[in-house]
Amino acid sequence: MKPAQLKQDKSAYPAYLVLGLGLLVLTWSTLLGPSLPAQLADLGGPHQTGKITATWLGDSHQPEEGSFSLQDLRQLSQYSLRDYDLAYAMEASTSAAYQKNQSPAQVLGVNDRYAQFQQMNLRSGRFLSFEQENQQVAVIDEELVQALFQNGNVVGLEIELYGREFKIVGVAGKDRSLIGTLTDRGYGTVYIPAKKLLELEADAPITSLAVATKDTGTTGRNTAVLATALASIGQDPANYKIIDYNLAGLLMEQGNQLRHFGAGTVAMVMLFSLLRRKIKGIDHFCRLRLRDNYWWEIIKGDAVRLMLGMAEVSALAAVMLLVWKSISFSLYIPPQNIPNELIDVSFWADLIKKGIETRQQSAGYAAPPGEVQLNVLNTIQNWNLFLNIFLGWPLFLLGLYQTRLLQEKLLKVEVFCSIFLLAALSLGTALLWLIKMPLVIETGEVLLIFSSVFLTVVTFIDRRAADGGFTSEKSS
């Protein structure tokens, strides 16, 4: 079937649908990506990602040897970590009651610094203070307020935990963002002093420690400081899951850089294609002229045309360099994942074995709230990057290929892409607002996506646009 017949017999709607879906995925992933590291920082409280945590992996065979005691934490704050802000937490489950109302609740025994490491978003009252560590006081979240009380003005009232009355001193806001919805346990949370929870549940271990960091790089200093501190109180660092949130934020941001690099690579490929055609056009033009003229005659008669062509070549090369400069970055790979030799079977075997052992050791491990949020954010980021590379770009290129087969006009495709990109940008912005995610628009990345799209459209649809008219010269 000839192309003209194909255009008459086949509708262009499926091609534009595929093209639009590709643009939608690319735009949404561009908007969602930067909001994830910003959300991680927001969830980290005042310290944001400037913290490192150690959580006991929970060896049920030796519970007394694997958790912190208050004496351990006092020793850390006075000696090994005296120059660092630190918080700790322990977790239990019980029922909270007010008069005749009762509801299951997660109880977190914490110290007064806990709110510096975890977003509390207090609606009323205040968080636990150092002076209240021996008092029966509590901070409850909005979900528990809704379950037990008829109104939100509950500060000063008392709830019953473990048969004792705890005075409410603050109400923490419920996280209504996408991350809060995905990590919601379905019941409320109560924060009480750790000392009081130890009195009520003597067997409950203090399993989580958070320490403010001073190093924001990838030197490993934070982990070394914490490992040394754990060893100083007789704890084996191998029994703890240590997470440096500085590195976690860096790796999450690296996902955005990889996506940015992908868009820039597409732009550079299209620019190189235009550059190659431009050079071939100039070469073809000169060869035609040299059949009947000398070089000096060509230069004299077509100097302006040649100079404009060379200027366009130089401009394309300069733009390629600028794009490369904007997308290049230093890829960080954790040192433990880098072998001394690329072909080192024993290294990769040990790495896989270590991963299996870690999963086995983590069986029954209960991640603290901050780690659960980090895991959800990482999962979303990984899927966002995967869909951008393996769904967004393939759909976009497939749609362009179909429009080219249908001989769609360049202007029509460009107008469609312009309208759809702007619509997708507006829709994505509104969706981020609806799911309560931080709106962080990276202008450079958005412009790069737009540039990559339009360069690809020009390259695919109008393959003669790049020669500047040089190859259109007749040989006669």
**Per-residue pLDDT of the chain in tens (476 residues, 90 and over written 9):** 445 544 445 688 999 999 999 999 999 999 999 999 999 999 999 999 999 999 988 754 454 555 788 999 999 999 999 999 999 999 999 999 999 899 999 999 999 999 999 999 999 999 999 999 999 999 999 999 999 997 778 999 999 999 999 999 999 998 889 999 999 888 899 999 999 999 998 888 888 999 999 988 888 899 999 999 999 999 999 889 999 999 999 999 999 999 999 999 999 999 999 999 889 888 888 888 777 777 777 777 778 888 888 899 999 999 999 999 999 999 888 877 777 766 666 766 666 766 665 665 555 677 899 999 999 999 999 999 999 999 999 999 999 999 999 889 999 999 999 999 999 999 999 999 999 999 998 899 999 999 999 999 988 876 555 455 555 444 43
CA gap 18, 347 in Å, rounded: 44
* Burial readout 439-450 (b: 16 or more C-beta within 10 A, e: otherwise): ebeeeebbebbb
Under 8 Å between Cβ of 93 and 107? yes
Token match 């190189």: residue? Answer: 272
Residue 137 DSSP SS3: strand
- What is the rounded distance in angstroms from the CA atom of residue 383 to the CA atom of residue 365? 25
Q: Is this prediction's pTM over 0.85?
A: yes
β pairing state of 158-161 and 164-172: antiparallel
pLDDT confidence of residue 18: 96
Compute CA 151 distance to the chain's CA centroid, rounded to the nearest angstrom.
37
The sign of the CA dihedral 6, 9, 14, 16 is positive
Rounded to whole angstroms, the Cα distance separating 90 from 109 reads 5
CA torsion 161-165-169-171 (nearest 10°) is: 40
245-290 vs 443-461: helix crossing angle, rounded to 10: 30
Measured distance between the N- and C-terminal CA atoms of the chain, rounded to whole angstroms: 33
Which pLDDT score is estimated for 354? 67
Contact 97, 148 (CB under 8 A): yes
Cα→Cα distances 313→51, 174, 326, 474, Å: 50, 57, 20, 22
pLDDT computed for residue 298 by the predictor: 74
Kindly give the residue spans of alpha helices, DSSP state H, lying in 362-437.
369-387, 393-405, 410-434
Structural contact between residues 377 and 179, judged by C-beta atoms closer than 8 angstroms: yes
pLDDT at 475: 41
Q: How far apart are CA 377 and CA 35, in angstroms?
A: 10
Letter string b/e over residues 93-106, b meaning 16 or more CB atoms within 10 A of that residue's CB: ebebbbeeeebebb
pLDDT value at residue 343: 67
The length of the chain is 476
CB 171 within 8 A of CB 145: yes
* Residue 207 near residue 56, CB atoms below 8 Å: yes
Check residue 13 and give its pLDDT: 93
Structural contact between residues 368 and 44, judged by C-beta atoms closer than 8 angstroms = no
pLDDT at 353: 65
Q: How far apart are CA 128 and CA 130, in angstroms?
A: 7
Encode burial over 399-418: b for 16+ CB neighbours within 10 A, e otherwise: bbebbbebebeeeebbebbe
